[in-house]
Amino acid sequence: MHSLRISLIVLIALIGSAPASAHAYLDHASPRVGSTVSSSPGQVTLTFTQNLERRFSTIEVRNSSGARVDQGNVSVSGSTMRVGLKSLPAGTYRVTWRVLSVDTHTTQGGFNFNVGAR
Q: List, for residues 22-47, the tens digit of each pLDDT value.
A: 688 999 999 999 999 999 999 999 99
pLDDT of res. 23: 85
Asked if residues 91 and 101 have their Cβ atoms less than 8 Å apart, the reply is: no
Q: Which domains occur in the chain, in start order?
A: 23-115 (2.60.40.1220)
For residue 103, name the pLDDT band (cuts at 50, 70, 90). Answer: confident
What pLDDT digit, counting tens, does each position of 56-73 carry? 999 999 999 999 999 999
Amino acid occupying residue 44 = V
The pLDDT > 70 percentage for the chain reads 80
What mean pLDDT do residues 106-116 have? 96
